[in-house]
Chains A and B, each alone.
Chain A
């Protein structure tokens, strides 16, 4: 048994290596027990979807418009009313305006990391990045904390995940699909879809043969941890490969055309649909990436002709779809980029662009216990800074975990035994749940 010492003098057994669900923090069972006893509030959602807007979407042109600001800040987009009185968003998001009662808008979220990579790490973990340690992304924490059936992957990313499992270990890494569904094309996932001309029959026969041939370590008493772990992963892989429901969840052709239609016909919308099917099948955490928001140039054309229509269609489809399937109460949704963009429009291209701006940004949260149809926080007259209170990525992370019934203050231990609080500096934004 190895013991590792930490920088601050704690000597502990390497708990994480044990890799048992929930170790290092509260298990779900513990949590429910505490909930029964009234010690903590009940968990509100038990699965989540994270929409990652890579590149950093402009807050001023989407969910935090300033129609009264000077021209060189306001930009060319006008606000429109939503189905919630008093809330206005960009004219290029009409479908989302029609379902604004479903999500909460956070304005004036603020941090200081203006580089993509650093900002991304911060937003994806709720911890300001430090060089000596890689924090786990949300999906890996969820996979670590919430139990998932054998044939269903806990953590899936379409097509990839920006933040890996960090100190939690590869075991909690997302199943990355490596490709996103494309309109009019069949869709498959590496390792999961039956490919290479192998039939289910053949897979079952092979599994039988493997069971007979894989005997070398069967009678050895040592190293059970490793050997049983491998057996466990083997059966889990087999369960997933041969599980109809796992494969069906990834098979978009199983969806009714009418339902698909409200998502629209592009890759991001289909990814949202896939995410919905996955959480419906029991996947705990799905990341969907929509990149291209780094609009240093031609900000307005790129937003209005491409990015915003995609986001509008896909995300409204997701919100409405979750609602129709009765999944809204059990699915926490978070939408965010790594930062906002400069209020002042630059002159780098004919119509101008906006640059990186972490001091003021927006995020959306929905599902689970989040009360939709509200705006939380406020930015100043030029959307340059939070007006009264600033929310940090840490606060958002704490709230997101809280929505999932995961205590943001549980302690993990890194591979070297260093104790790490899940979200060190976050305060839950209670108003989200009020």
Chain B
């Protein structure tokens, strides 16, 4: 879009480009509490948009007061500066209220200011404190706030200003005027910054920002000298404390300007030096997403990469949308398909697959904090709560229920369904817990377990967690001090947090009308014995397993706000009031405040709810959000492409919060389908979506991909259809220490514990490489009986060898052998205790095997195998005797056919298959030759293929997206 326009830019050092098409007013950064351009009916305490007629005559425009530096430039000034408008910001500008200085929580040198100076009353009190000598109305020059900052010797914080500088005069005049503060907070209506956007043509160029404040009384004042300026990337742009911006490297970032309660980001760009016309042009697209991205890329003189090929596309979209490695067969079919709309068809197909719901239930579990460790003891069966949570989400995702509706099921969750008695509720839940029937739980309208987490109990935890999950906003800063880069004050935080006080969801909470029934059920179980804590829980679990109906906790809403302070307990409490984040209307905390919260979330004007999920989905597909960090939407952390985020959020809301629409809209864009091969203009670009940026596959997807690539045919198709044994099915997690899945732990599955998208890690590390190269998991996957390698080479093995294959049955045997190995690891005493359990397990397996007409497994045989493989694994493998272990493996291969006897075409076919099932592409001619030659040099076809598959699993291409 407008490619030619951007190319014809005059080569000025910088220029103002205004969105309104009017240079003088374009720079007016619209600031409004939350809702962008809502001008009418602003509540009085909200900073509203400024409505100035664009073409007002020069002489009708209000007069802007010149900066303090001009007004206080010489002696004999009459004006008395204002505390809120001038003194507070000046102290900030001089650095007095920084974290390391007087803004520290302990203050410094006995003098304490509010961090970043948001608390005018307290700061004023600290300044005029009678005994401190900070202000001396009689001997003005002796006032410490004048005397200290001009003298590096006496001031630990060094020299901050010169004697008789304008800053000195401002402070001095304020003291002369009585050092007053009215106590009334004046309202800043808008802060305008010119230019609104900076475009640099080279390094080391300068531009001066000019900032004008507009107050509620109509005054306009230039406040550039009083603002706090920061840059979001000082390699691209540096900014001085007087608002002078200096360009640096090629790239784009924002300079953030803060004054009073306003925060304004100004985009700063330094485009590359290359002429875009010299570069190969990718096909054009009129997809709205592509047009919005092109607008930014044009400014940056970046030409996007070409589109990726079909092999890259099917692999990429399968992982991103379903967390699953595509089946080799589907890859082949896709590559052979020459219909023009095949990518769109594939996207539609993937949206209906079980992997889609499972993968997004995994992601939503991350964002909603589905963490078993925090749900300990909430249900009588360990580990079930997290699965109920997962399955509840998964069902709705598979039916493509609107995102707002899914979230409503969490926000407004009740334990009992409408018209359900406590008894009926307990009957259903007992049945669910006894049978592990997660499906019937998923039928329930709400999912109250969300509220029952141990780390989501106090009002503050809920405020932080709620903002994280539904808004993608981090408000923890405001728990103690004003958020440095957003508008949130401690008061905003406290008023928001109090809204959560009536909600109770502990393992013991029940509604008053259920209490009697609950007692009766409990007594039935305990026989009237007064049991508590763990003893009671144990009894309940036993009763449940015996088939009894046991009591369950309920989420309840306290009619009166809970008062946890012991001393005040029992005293009547006045109704407390709170405020929804960023809203000015008070909400009385009575009844269920969640209704109001949900209504607010879902409102089309909500500035966060849609953007948060849109940004998260975008980040899932691109590895980087439009806002980064993804869960940190705030004024000082602007989107890299604001129109794009707005467009997606708007479209998502209009679609009825339809997640399928969102995926489709993103994935069909050229932006998503770009190649990872860069060109000269975008090689360093990571944030403008001009190419595919490789990243490591998520933990679950990678672990599952190893399984799927090595499973035999039968097991693979079962896993794909039922997700059995796959991590995206939600049954495995890394957290359970010692019992968790090792691979998930090593590859950074989300810990879901700290209200941060960074709980999931896609970083690489040494343990991951050790795991992929040499873990027993990998070796066993490659050499498992009934696995792909064995199946693929079976035809070349003597009949006897292939005859022992029995598909799933042999895997069962392998699993049991591993159980036996764990058993052997136990100390003798524990072994004695565990032995009966092991026998029981074996009996169960054998019952099933008999039904499936498989030969039963024998205890002694399994024990022997387990001992052998332990010995094998632990055997000395020093360099002097490398073949000892090999001999064990060789014993099998020795019975096999020599590779020389296998026709080359057959070897080539399995190499191709190996490539398709790991890298989702055909090998190149070179690769084919190298792999074939390797196999021909190997002891047996199976040994050779194992190594080829091992090498493919260990390529960067396998672990990375591309």
Binding site for B on A (CB under 8 A): 1-11, 13, 131-134, 153, 160, 169-171, 173, 175, 178-179, 182, 185-188, 190-203, 205-206, 209-210, 212-214, 216-217, 220-223, 226-227, 229-231, 233-234, 236-238, 240-241, 244, 247-248, 251, 253, 267, 415-416
| Minimum CB–CB distance for A153 against chain B, Å | 7
Contact (Cβ within 8 A) B951 A206: yes
Q: Is B10 an interface residue (CB 8 A)?
A: no
Interface 0/1 of B637-678, CB less than 8 Å to A: 100000000000000000000000000000000000000111
Q: Given B253, B764, B773, which contacts A230 in the complex, CB threshold below 8 Å? A: B764
Additional A-B contacts beyond A198-B774, A210-B951 (5; CB < 8 A): A11-B232, A205-B937, A223-B694, A226-B960, A236-B769
B832 on the interface (CB 8 Å rule)? Answer: no
Shortest CB-to-CB span from B440 to chain A, Å, is 34
List chain B residues, Cβ under 8 A from A230: 764, 769, 956, 959-960
Instruction: Report the bound CA distance from A193 to B684 in whole Å.
Output: 40
Contact A212 B930 (CB under 8 A): yes
What are 13 contact pairs spanning A and B, CB under 8 A?
A2-B686, A3-B234, A5-B637, A132-B476, A134-B754, A169-B765, A191-B771, A191-B775, A199-B885, A206-B951, A214-B957, A222-B683, A222-B691
B99 touches A (CB below 8 Å)? yes
Instruction: Check if A251 sits within 8 Å of B876, measured CB to CB.
Output: yes
| Total B residues in contact with A, Cβ cutoff 8 Å | 101
Residues of A within 8 A of B900 (CB): none
Query: Knowing A5-B636, A191-B767 touch, does A205 contact B947 (C-beta < 8 A)?
Result: yes
B235 located at the interface, meaning its Cβ lies under 8 Å from any Cβ of chain A in the complex:
yes
B484–A9 touching, CB < 8 Å: yes
Select B773's contact among A8, A153, A220, A238, beta carbons within 8 Å: A238
A194 to B676, CA, bound (A): 36
List B931-962 residues whose CB lies under 8 Å from chain A: 931, 934, 937, 943, 947-948, 950-952, 954-957, 959-960, 962
B877 contacts the other chain (Cβ, under 8 Å)? Answer: yes
Instruction: Assess the B676–A132 pair: CB atoms within 8 A.
Output: no
Does B167 touch A at the CB level, under 8 Å?
Answer: no
Known: A5-B484, A195-B779, A237-B774. A209 touches B947 (CB 8 A): yes
A267 and B931 within 8 A (CB): no
- For A194, give the chain B residue with the smallest CB separation: B877
CA distance A179 to B825 in the complex (A): 8
Quick one: given A9-B99, A212-B930, A222-B684, are A195 and B773 in contact (CB under 8 Å)? no
Q: How far is the CA of A237 from the CA of B954 in the complex (A)?
A: 11
- List the one stretch of B214-222, B607-615, B840-848, B867-875 in contact with chain A: B867-875
Whether the Cβ atoms of B955 and A216 lie closer than 8 Å is yes
Q: How far is the CA of A187 from the CA of B878 in the complex (A)?
A: 14
State in angstroms the CA–CA spacing of A231 and B954 once bound together: 10
A203 to B947, CA, bound (A): 9
Q: Is B98 an interface residue (CB 8 A)?
A: yes
Closest to B486 in A: A5
Question: Complex formed: what's the CA distance from A133 to B476 in Å?
Answer: 11
CA of A391 to CA of B794, assembled, Å: 68
- Find chain A residues with CB under 8 A from B883 CB: 199, 201
Closest chain B residue to A229, Cβ basis: B764
Residues on A with C-beta less than 8 A from B874 are 185-188, 193
B770 contacts partner chain A, Cβ-Cβ < 8 Å = yes
- Chain A residues lying within 8 Å of B52, measured Cβ to Cβ, are none
B485 interface residue (CB < 8 Å to A): yes
CA distance A253 to B253 in the complex (A): 59
Is B628 close to A, CB under 8 A? yes
Q: Complex: how many Å from CA A132 to CA B773?
A: 35
The residue from B678, B886, B931, B960 contacting A202, defined by CB atoms under 8 A apart: B886
For residue A190, which residue of chain B has the nearest CB?
B775
CA of A206 to CA of B116 in the docked complex: distance in angstroms?
A: 59
Q: A103 → chain B, closest Cβ, in Å?
A: 28
A160 near B737: Cβ-Cβ < 8 Å: yes
Cβ of B779 and Cβ of A198 under 8 Å apart? yes
Quick check: is B491 within 8 A (CB to CB) of the other chain? no
With A134-B754, A214-B957, A234-B954 known as contacts, the answer to whether A190 contacts B776 (CB < 8 A) is yes
**B629: Cβ under 8 A from any A Cβ:** yes
Given A182-B827, A186-B874, A198-B889, answer yes or no on A237-B879 (Cβ-Cβ < 8 Å).
no
**Contact flags (1/0) for B225-240 with A, using CB distance below 8 Å?**
0001011111100000
Enumerate chain A residues within 8 angstroms of B768, measured Cβ to Cβ: 233
Tell me the nearest residue of chain A to B874, going by C-beta: A186
Q: Does B695 contact A (CB under 8 A)?
A: yes
- Pick the residue among B758, B779, B878 that contacts A197 (CB under 8 A): B779
Q: If the complex has contacts A160-B737, A199-B883, A200-B882, are A186 and B774 also in contact, measured as CB distance less than 8 A?
A: no
Nearest A residue to B880 via CB reads A244
Residues of A within 8 A of B957 (CB): 214, 216-217
CA distance A186 to B873 in the complex (A): 9
Assembly CA distance A191 to B769 (angstroms): 9
- Whether B694 and A226, one on each chain, are in contact in the complex, defined by CB atoms closer than 8 angstroms, is yes
Which single residue of chain A is at the shortest CB-CB distance from B116? A9
Beta-carbon contact of A13 and B235 below 8 Å: yes
Measured between alpha carbons, how far is A212 from B110 in the docked complex, in Å? Answer: 67
Among A170, A190, A231, A267, contact of B827 (Cβ-Cβ < 8 Å): A267
A169→B683 contact, CB < 8 A: no
- Measured in the bound complex, the distance between the Cα atoms of B962 and A216 in whole Å is 10
A residues less than 8 Å from B878 (CB atoms): 244, 247-248
Judge whether B783 is part of the interface by a CB distance below 8 angstroms.
yes
- Selected from B678, B754, B827, the residue in CB contact (under 8 A) with A222 is B678
Bound form: Cα–Cα A10–B116 in Å? 12
Interface centre among A10, A188, A195 (most CB of B within 10 A): A195
- A416 near B629 with CB under 8 A, answer yes
A214 and B886 contact, CB distance less than 8 A: no
For A160, list chain B residues within 8 Å (CB). 737-738
* Least distance between B952 CB and chain A CB atoms (Å): 7
Are A197 and B771 touching (Cβ within 8 A)? no
Q: Is B780 an interface residue (CB 8 A)?
A: yes
Contacts of B686 in A (CB 8 A): 2
* Contact across chains for B950 and A206 when beta carbons are under 8 A apart: yes
Partner of A3, one of B253, B769, B872, B934: B253
From A1, A196, A226, give the contact of B251 (CB < 8 A). Answer: A1
**Bound-state Cα–Cα, A216 to B770, Å:** 21
Known: A7-B477, A199-B883, A222-B684. A217 touches B934 (CB 8 A): no
Partner of A9, one of B230, B678, B770: B230
* B111 CB–A CB distance under 8 Å: no
Min CB–CB distance B421 → chain A (angstroms): 38
Q: Is the CB of A194 within 8 A of B769?
A: no
Judge whether B742 and A213 touch: CB under 8 Å: no
Q: Which chain A positions have C-beta within 8 A of B879? A: 200, 244
Chain B residues near A1 (CB, 8 Å)? 233, 235, 251
> Which chain B residues border A203 with CB–CB below 8 Å?
774
Judged by a CB distance under 8 angstroms, whether B96 is at the interface is: no
Q: Would you give the shortest CB distance from A161 to chain B, in whole angstroms?
A: 10
- Tell whether, in the assembled complex, residue B774 and residue A191 are in contact, meaning their CB atoms are under 8 Å apart: yes
Q: Is the CB of A9 within 8 A of B758?
A: no
Q: Is B497 an interface residue (CB 8 A)?
A: no
- Contact (A195, B872) CB under 8 Å given A9-B99, A209-B947, A216-B962: yes
Give B98's nearest chain A residue, CB to CB.
Answer: A9
Point out the residue from B231, B461, B764 that lies within 8 Å of A11, measured CB to CB: B231
Given contacts A195-B872, A206-B947, contact A220 B676 (CB under 8 A): yes
Complex contact A201–B947 (CB within 8 A)? no
A-chain residues with CB within 8 Å of residue B886 when the two chains form the complex: 197-199, 201-202
Alpha-carbon distance between A173 and B764 when the two chains are bound, in angstroms:
11
From B677, B748, B763, B766, residue with most partner A Cβ within 10 Å: B766
Q: Is A195's CB under 8 angstroms from B873's CB?
A: yes
Q: Are A186 and B871 in contact (CB under 8 A)?
A: yes
A131 to B374, CA, bound (A): 14
CB-based nearest B residue for A8: B99
Chain B, 85-101, CB within 8 A of any chain A CB? 98-99
Residues on the B chain within 8 Å of A2, using CB: 233, 628, 686-687
**Whole-angstrom CA separation of A187 from B461 in the bound complex:** 45
Is B888 an interface position by the 8 A CB rule?
yes
